Amino acid sequence: MVIVGRRPARHRGEALAGLALASPALLVFTVFMFVPLGMTAYYSLTRYTGFGEPRFQGLDNFGQIGSDPLFWRALVNTGVFTVISVPLSVLGGLGLALLLNRHLPGRGLLRALFYVPVVISAVSAGIIARWIFNENFGVANRLLTGLGLPEVGWQTDGPAALASVIAVQVWTSLGFAMVVYLAGLQGIGAEVYEAAVLDGASRWRMLRSITWPLLGPTSFFIVVYMVITSFQVFDIVVIMTGGGPQNATTFLVNYAYDAGFEQRRQGYAAALGAVLFVIVMALTLLQWRAGRRRDVA
Amino acid sequence: MSRSPWSRRQFLGALGAGGAAAVGAGSLAGCSSSSGAGSGSASARGGLTFTLWGGDEELAAFQAVADGYEQAEGTTVTLDQLPYPDVLPSVDSRIQAGDPPDLFRVSYIDIGRYTTLNVLADISDALPSGYADAFTPALWKAVQDPDGRPVGVPHHTDCSAIVYNAPAFAAAGVTAPTSLDQAWTWEQFTQALTEVKGANGGKYPVAINWQAAGAYRWLSFLAQAGGSVFDDDLAQVTIASDAGRKALTYTQGLYTSGLHDPTFLVQAGNYPDETFPTGQPLSIATGDFNLPSLVTSATGFEWGATYLPRDVSAATDLGGNAVVVTDGPNAEAAARFAAFLANAENMKSFCEATTVLPTRSDVTGLTYAVRPDLMPVFVEQATTIPDSLVAASTSPVFTQVNQALQQQLEGAFAGGADVDSTLDALQKAIEQALQQQA
């Protein structure tokens, strides 16, 4: 009885201590995330230039978004960008991690080299890429012609320009996926593979039936993280293509930034932000549910 | 951001005593008191903050004026340098937060966004008698609010002209005009570019600087054809006109005929002056403010300057920047610095060091630090900035005008959109901007 009677009191104390210790973080989240989110939701219902008082206008901004061809173009671009860049980054990162999880000469150097693009600024990466993909004298087209292939209109052809931005995004995010996968791989016990070898499993079978399932939580984290970051792509595009040609590389965040800070339509930009938030939240929940079903199964 | 003045012991004590709410309030109070003390002490010292962007030469020239002001008046002016695209978003955020910089640099094409917002200070009292009379009237008007009160100073101007690869033009036997009255007509310009392309292995002979926020530079061609964005009262949109049709047909033709470098469309991440030093394109339209960077980057060949082509008249764009004073506690001191910054002596030294043009008629006999042989071209070209373009460029809706130009010109140049439908779309977009402004 004594023990039973003391446990809730101790739990209450632990809960209070936990709350107290978490309160700085909660405060930061409240001030820098929840309050801005709430204000964005409010501004999305107003006409607001950023100066003076916002004028409430209900759902007008969302109605305008629905009939705004540039929004739909930016949404499609962002979707295509995500659908292509995330799998490439995830699978590429896994491949590199599998490769560099072995004993190789210069393994540390190779790991560092693949991680370098993660730590250089997106602006620097964008400027480098702008020169690489320059149609008149860039390295990309010189390599293609050297291989006997036709030149590509990286700056003048919409799909090619989008491909160049995707390539840079994958280049800058591969290293992150690699490092996280390396950590995941090192958490898988060697005895599991030994048992599989004794059972006569092939390398491919071990990858498919041991490595990939046991990396499930890691993959879940990487996919969620990369979907979110791909929906937030901004600086690379500004530097590389300016959103062109013909809006082929205009993404949602670029469009929202332009609306909010260039055109000073901050209510409209907030509505764009709210739409972006709902999309990313829905995608994250879908992935979370899929991940939970997989874990239960 | 300064660190919270709290010690670890105080912090833990607060945790135990007040929990989350106490910590929250305390942290915020710590933050605000420390930052508040910072700005307060800056005011007490009489210091001013000046948000600006600039190249190396410009920053050095601004710093020299700031140092001179500190020596003369004892007031410190701290330059808050930001990249160009970040300046206005930063200024906007700070104005919204009630903590504006005391002064900020703003281009003429953006100034209209501020003069109508009641966020800038009337600096009349800080200006000596007759101060305004020395300035180009149209530019002095640009720094006035709707009630005619000056809120800043027109610090300098600049304009675009053609900078060309001299050996490439010589190889084609093309001699560039050396005086404004001999400037190429559109037809002559096309002919010259065709010859230059033919003599240089098909390299693109020209790229105009209408990328990104520079889309408005297309209006030079509109003005050359005799057109304008608005009527004289800025009440009616007049871009969809015969002159507009002529200008758009001609400029679209530069792309379709293979003369304009197609990698420099309107939506682009860079401007032609970035690649000109590599030898492509063979000529660019660029502002005189780019001469210092070209001198250090375009070292592999000789290059010269000539005038933009002309049609029924010569015309170029309104470039340059003003410095405005925000309506804050230091407005009076900031206004005095603005007046000092744009006095004849300081304007002259700034323009000479940074190869830009003065806005005062009493600043003459400049000795430019960089390519003084080419600056007369820009000085003469600047006389062709039409008043209609100055009025349009400094109007409160010019951001929307520029935005519409970015979208519609891209469609015409990259996608081959029909000239009439492009002009109609421009007309409607600008009319809509005018209606929303009203």
Q: Are residues B179 and B260 in the same domain?
A: yes
Question: Nearest CA to CA, how far is A270 from chain B (Å)?
Answer: 15
Q: Are residues B88 and B235 in the same domain?
A: no
Q: Are residues B194 and B293 in the same domain?
A: yes
Q: Which of B354, B380, B411 is the last residue of a domain?
A: B354
Which of chain B's residues have a Cβ under 8 Å away from the Cβ of A262? Answer: 399, 403
Question: Nearest CA to CA, how far is A240 from chain B (Å)?
Answer: 5
Q: Are residues B176 and B262 in the same domain?
A: yes
The total number of structural domains in chain B stands at: 2
Output the average pLDDT for chain B.
88
Strands B103-107 and B48-52: parallel
How much is the average pLDDT of B123-129? 94
Which pLDDT value is given to residue A290? 81
Within-domain flag for B90: yes
Q: Are residues B348 and B294 in the same domain?
A: no
Q: Are residues B178 and B71 in the same domain?
A: no
Within-domain flag for B25: no
Output the average pLDDT for chain A.
91
Element (H, E) at B165: strand B160-165
Q: Count Cα atoms within 13 angstroms, Cβ side, for A273.
A: 21
State the SS3 of chain A. Answer: CHHHHHHHHHHHHHHHHHHHHHHHHHHHHHHHHHHHHHHHHHHCCEECCCCCCCEECCCHHHHHHHCCHHHHHHHHHHHHHHHHHHHHHHHHHHHHHHHHCCCCCCHHHHHHHHHHHHHCCHHHHHHHHHHHCCCCCCHHHHHHHHCCCCCCCCCCCHHHHHHHHHHHHHHHHHHHHHHHHHHHHCCCCHHHHHHHHHCCCCHHHHHHHHHHHHCHHHHHHHHHHHHHHHHCCCHHHHHHCCCCCCCCCCCHHHHHHHHHHHCCCHHHHHHHHHHHHHHHHHHHHHHHHHHHHHHHC
Share of chain B above pLDDT 90, in %: 78
- Residue B102: domain span: 44-157+319-354
Within-domain flag for B220: yes
Q: Which of B354, B374, B408 is the last residue of a domain?
A: B354
Is this structure's pTM higher than 0.80?
Answer: yes
Q: What is the pLDDT of residues B222-268, one digit of tens each?
A: 999 999 999 998 899 999 999 999 999 999 999 999 999 999 999 98
Which pLDDT value is given to residue B12? 40
- Phi then psi for residue A34, to 5 deg, are -70, -45
Q: Looking at chain A, which residue has its C-alpha nearest residue B415?
A: A246
Question: Nearest CA to CA, how far is B265 from chain A (Å)?
Answer: 7
The answer, yes or no, to whether residue A100 has pLDDT greater than 60, is yes
Q: Are residues B245 and B117 in the same domain?
A: no
Of B20, B88, B275, the CB nearest to A27: B20
Within-domain flag for B134: yes
The answer, yes or no, to whether residue B3 has pLDDT greater than 80, is no
Within-domain flag for B289: yes
Q: Which residue in A165, A247, A249 has the most chain B C-beta atoms within 10 A of its own C-beta, making it the best mutation to test that interface?
A: A247
The span from the CA of B278 to the CA of B69, in Å, is 41
The span from the CA of B422 to the CA of B247, in Å, is 12
How much is the average pLDDT of B154-178? 97
ipTM of this predicted complex? Answer: 0.82
Q: What is the pLDDT of residues A3-27, one digit of tens each?
A: 444 566 778 888 899 999 999 999 9
How much is the average pLDDT of A70-86? 96
* B23 to A27: CB separation less than 8 angstroms, yes or no: yes
What CATH number is associated with residue B132? 3.40.190.10
Q: Are residues B306 and B329 in the same domain?
A: no
Q: Are residues B189 and B298 in the same domain?
A: yes
* A262 to B268: CB separation less than 8 angstroms, yes or no: no
Q: What is the pLDDT of residues B282-330, one digit of tens each?
A: 999 999 999 999 999 999 999 999 999 999 999 999 999 999 999 999 9
Tell me which residues of chain A, numbers 216 to 275, contact chain B at a CB-CB cutoff of 8 Å. Answer: 238-247, 250, 258, 261-264
Q: Are residues B78 and B105 in the same domain?
A: yes
How much is the average pLDDT of A79-106? 93
Within-domain flag for B110: yes
Which pLDDT value is given to residue A296? 55
Q: Which residue in A64, A73, A134 has the most chain B C-beta atoms within 10 A of its own C-beta, making it the best mutation to test that interface?
A: A134
Q: Are residues B243 and B298 in the same domain?
A: yes
Question: Nearest CA to CA, how far is B232 from chain A (Å)?
Answer: 24
Which of chain B's residues have a Cβ under 8 Å away from the Cβ of A31? Answer: 28
Q: Are residues B295 and B419 in the same domain?
A: yes
Q: What is the pLDDT of residues A28-39, one digit of tens each?
A: 999 999 999 999
* A156 to B263: CB separation less than 8 angstroms, yes or no: yes
Q: What is the pLDDT of residues A135-179, one digit of tens each?
A: 988 999 999 999 999 999 999 999 999 999 999 999 999 999 999
Within-domain flag for B24: no
